[in-house]
Chains A and B, each alone.
Chain A
Amino acid sequence: MKIISVENVVKCFPVGDGKFTALDHISLDFFTGEFAGLVGPSGSGKTTLLNIIGSLDKPSKGKAQVAGKDIEALTHKQAAQLRNHSIGFIFQVFNLLPVYTVFENVEFALLLQKKPWHERKKAVMDALEWVGLENMADKKISKLSGGESQRVAIARAMVKRPRIMLADEPSANLDAKNTHSIMETMKTLNQEFKTTFLFSTHDEKVMQYLDRIIHLEDGKVVKDEIITSRKEDF
């Protein structure tokens, strides 16, 4: 099933008097359960594309359909709804809320969905188990290592069981061991829940886990390679 469809998307930013084209007629489709990544030099437009797919930004031209919604037509509220229910984000810096505990950071997304306490508790503990942090539920964020923090971020993004996970350079602040460990965790989640993962990365270690690598350069797709043909039917 097609879950993300990007059609002739152009994104321009105003620069001085003129404008800068960050995405130049991009067309891409992603299917449920893909484990794909955008790679390319700095400034090639990876983050810009992820932001559009994540409904944090809108295309200047073209169409982007995500989980059945037209991104360019969404209001602020509708975009927030889409993010709340269907999209999980993981960032380069872990972006956890420092005043809350591990449990509370993960719980936050479910509070937004107004889930009752017993459901929240179970879902949060499950999510912490997926990332191997079930014993750290009450820890303060400031007491966590980098690897642990990124695991909390993964649990937070996954706890609402989104259909799409967007990860912008998730390994940039991690060492090799932690990078492998979180990639394995995410791969497992991808297989278990059929969650579609879309990465943006420079990191060889990340790339070796990807099933599909899309090369961007100057806002254009220059190569779209399938690494392993997946056995499961999309």
Chain B
Amino acid sequence: MIHFLLKGLLRDKNRSLFPIIIVSIGVALTVFLSGYIKGVMGDMIDTTAKFDTGHVKVMTRAYAKNIDQMPNDLALMGVEKLTKELARKYPEVTWVKRIKFTGLLDVPDDKGETIRQGPAMGLAIGLFSGSGREVARMNIKNSIKAGKIPENPGEALIGIELAQKLKLKPKDIVTYLGSTMNGSMAFMNFIVTGFVRFGSQSLDKGAIIIDIFDAQEMLDMPDACGEILGFFENNVYFDSKAQILASAFNTEYFDESEEFSPVMVRLKDQANLAYYMDYVDLYTMIFVGIFVIAMSVVLWNTGLLGGLRRYQEFGIRLALGESKDMIFRSLIIEALLIGTTGSVLGTIIGLIATWILQVHGIDISSMTANSTIMVPSIIRSKVTPDLFYIGFIPGLFAMVLGNLLAGIGIFKRQTAQLFKELEI
């Protein structure tokens, strides 16, 4: 009997293929859209991660406590060894050294007299000494609005608004004035090779970006740095992964008595991001919820129409001696089958699409090149665990609900009335 009904189901494309296609499309859209929202809404977090927090960050416990002051006197020592260890233990994570510093930028005339001066926030990264991954990560090449990227020691990039304030031209010389790790006077001349606009107020208005080796020399920090940042594959943050990583690291390296012992913190632990991320989660849920409801209504209609269209068949089956209960049950089983098949297919399609857009983000930086507001330059979606089941809610629920309502319609109707409709 089940075999017989299945045969009919498969042959009747109006009952099998088309509903499956509709369910699949709806489910795929739901999955993809929620992955997309998660990706795009998470983009600000992404930017924060790239410029500031990493996905995880290693620093000394003392530095972590006073992080707002960029206290390089509390920086990590022996970072060559530590970075190598990290790379060996967690090879799937990319580890990079960074130094943040503050100071004054001084623009001298030909005789070395100060013409203009302004406070600056420094960021030292693997600008030309590294593998180029940091340059790519921060999208520096596309952010340069004038000049070019530094290639030699003693060269620097400057935030575009700071450059305007200091009336700089590419190839001008600026002098950095600050203090070393040990608290003595630090100063160094830089050739400004170019100006950058990242779309972030603080960076554009006050940043000087130099290579990590220059910073180590200038600040007297050999084999030391403020922070070691870890980035996950494809630059996508997974909190669960960060959590596991951080607790493993901290169990191993934690030393109560040593305030310079290293500590690892998750992205979520930093800069009030926990609050923001929960907020994003809430909004994602609301968006997805609305979409799920809309999709459910569409699929519910499909199920309803399917059921109504089949009054004739039900009439015949009643006449042949099936009870209403049996027909009702087979209707629901059918909806479950179709709903499940469509949901599985749709989820697979949605996941693949989401995954593709996660790995190969769409680069819209050319479109936003002249934009002054903070716009993510690459649109990425994100595959999260809930994407594996979220599509089943509209897929299965709406399909079964539609058939259920249609079935109740049949149940309520007098049997003889069904026949009336048959004989028209």
Q: Which residues of B contact A83 (CB under 8 A)?
A: 318-321
Enumerate chain B residues within 8 angstroms of A54, measured Cβ to Cβ.
Answer: 319
Within 8 Å of chain B (Cβ to Cβ): is A215?
Answer: no
Q: Which of B320, B324, B419 contacts A76 (CB 8 A)?
A: B324
Alpha-carbon separation in the docked complex, A112 to B415 (Å): 19
Q: Which residues of B contact A156 (CB under 8 A)?
A: 320
A91 touches B320 (CB 8 A): no
CB–CB B7/A109 < 8 A: no
Q: How far is the CB of B110 from chain A (nearest CB, A)?
A: 93
Interfacial chain B residues near A111, Cβ < 8 Å: 1, 4
Is residue A95 contacting chain B, with contact meaning CB distance below 8 A? yes
Residue from B8, B315, B325, B326 in contact with A99 in the complex, judged by beta carbons closer than 8 Å: B8
Interface of B is mostly: helix
In Å, the complex CA distance between A100 and B316 comes to 13
List chain A residues, Cβ under 8 A from B313.
Answer: 97
Given contacts A100-B7, A111-B1, A168-B423, contact A56 B415 (CB under 8 A): yes
Instruction: Tell me whether A109 and B416 are in contact (CB under 8 A).
Output: no
Picked from B8, B321, B326, B422, the residue with its CB within 8 Å of the CB of A109 is B321
B7 contacts A85, C-beta separation under 8 Å: no
* Partner of A95 from B4, B8, B326, B422 at Cβ < 8 Å: B422
Q: Which residues of chain A come closer than 8 Å to B324, judged between CB atoms?
A: 76, 80
Q: Which residue of B lies closest to A82 (CB)?
A: B321
Chain A proximity of B12: nearest CB distance (Å): 5
Verify B322–A80 contact, CB threshold 8 A: yes
A110 to B192, CA, bound (A): 90
Does B11 count as interface, using CB distance less than 8 angstroms? yes
CA distance A96 to B312 in the complex (A): 9
Contact with A along B264-289 (1 / 0, CB 8 A): 00000000000000000000000000
**B129 at the A interface (CB under 8 A):** no
Q: Is there an interface contact between A80 and B11, defined as CB atoms closer than 8 Å?
A: no
CA distance A97 to B9 in the complex (A): 12
Cβ 8 A contact of B321, one of A51, A80, A92, A104: A80
Q: Of residues 49 to 103 in A, which have CB atoms within 8 Å of B's CB atoms?
A: 51, 54, 56-57, 76-77, 79-85, 87, 89, 91-93, 95-97, 99-100
B143-160 CB mask vs A (1 if < 8 Å, else 0) is 000000000000000000
Sorting the interface of chain B by its residue count into under 10, 10 to 19, 20 to 34 or 35 or more gives 20 to 34
A130 on interface, CB distance cutoff 8 Å = no
Take A56-B416, A100-B8 as given contacts and tell me if A93 and B422 are in contact as well, using a CB distance cutoff of 8 Å: yes
Given contacts A95-B315, A95-B316, A156-B320, A108 and B12 within 8 Å (CB-CB): no
Measured between alpha carbons, how far is A196 from B415 in the docked complex, in Å? 23
Please tell me if the beta carbons of B8 and A97 are within 8 angstroms of each other in the complex: yes
B4 / chain A contacts, CB cutoff of 8 Å: 104, 107-108, 111
B323 lies within 8 A of A56 (CB): no
Residue of A nearest to B323 (CB): A80
User: Cβ of A77: which chain B residues have Cβ within 8 Å of it?
Assistant: 323, 325
The distance from the CB of B316 to the nearest CB of chain A, in whole angstroms, is 5
Check: B184 CB closer than 8 A to any chain A CB: no
- Is B414's CB within 8 Å of the partner chain A? yes
Bound form: Cα–Cα A47–B312 in Å: 17
Within 8 A of B (CB), among A85-140: 85, 87, 89, 91-93, 95-97, 99-100, 104, 107-109, 111-114
- In the assembled complex, which residues on chain A have CB atoms less than 8 Å from the CB atom of B320? 83-84, 89, 108-109, 112, 156
Q: Is the CB of A84 within 8 A of B321?
A: yes
- What residues of B have a CB within 8 angstroms of the CB of A93 in the complex? 422-423
Residues of B within 8 A of A100 (CB): 7-8, 11
Q: How many angstroms between the C-alpha atoms of A95 and B423 in the bound complex?
A: 9
A104 to B12, CA, bound (A): 14
For A82, the chain B residues whose CB sits under 8 A away are 321
Of the residues A51, A96, A99, A109, contact of B419 by C-beta under 8 Å = A51
Bound complex: CA A4 to CA B397 (Å): 47
A80 near B422: Cβ-Cβ < 8 Å: no
* Complex: chain A residue closest to B418, CB-CB: A56
Chain B: minimal CB distance from A214 (Å): 20
Q: Which residue of B lies closest to A140 (CB)?
A: B11
Give chain A residues whose Cβ lies under 8 Å from the Cβ of B414.
Answer: 57
Q: In the complex, what distance in Å separates the CA atom of A34 from the CA atom of B419?
A: 25
- A76–B318 Cα distance when bound, in Å, is 10
A54-B318 Cα distance, complex, nearest whole Å? 11
Bound complex: CA of A97 vs CA of B318, how far in Å?
A: 13
- Measured CB to CB, the closest approach of chain A to B229, in angstroms, equals 62
Instruction: Write the nearest CB–CB distance from B200 to chain A, whole angstroms.
Output: 62
Q: Whole-angstrom distance between the alpha carbons of A82 and B322 in the complex? A: 10
Contact code string B1-31 (vs A, CB < 8 Å = 1, else 0): 1001001100110000000000000000000
For residue B12, which residue of chain A has the nearest CB? Answer: A99
Chain B residue with Cβ nearest A168? B423
Closest chain B CB from A13 CB (angstroms)? 10
> How far does the alpha carbon of A156 sit from the alpha carbon of B322 in the complex, in Å?
14
Q: Are A80 and B318 neighbours in the complex by a CB distance under 8 Å?
A: yes
Asked if B423 and A91 make an inter-chain contact with CB atoms under 8 angstroms apart, the answer reads yes
7 A–B pairs (Cβ distance < 8 Å), ordered by A: A47-B419, A56-B415, A57-B415, A57-B416, A97-B316, A108-B320, A112-B322
Question: What 20 additional pairs, Cβ within 8 angstroms, besides A95-B315, A107-B4?
Answer: A51-B416, A76-B324, A77-B323, A79-B415, A80-B318, A80-B321, A81-B321, A83-B319, A83-B321, A87-B321, A91-B319, A95-B319, A95-B422, A99-B12, A100-B7, A108-B320, A109-B321, A112-B320, A112-B322, A156-B320
Top 8 A-B residue pairs of the complex, sorted by shortest distance between their CB atoms: A84-B321, A80-B323, A57-B416, A83-B321, A99-B11, A89-B319, A99-B12, A51-B416
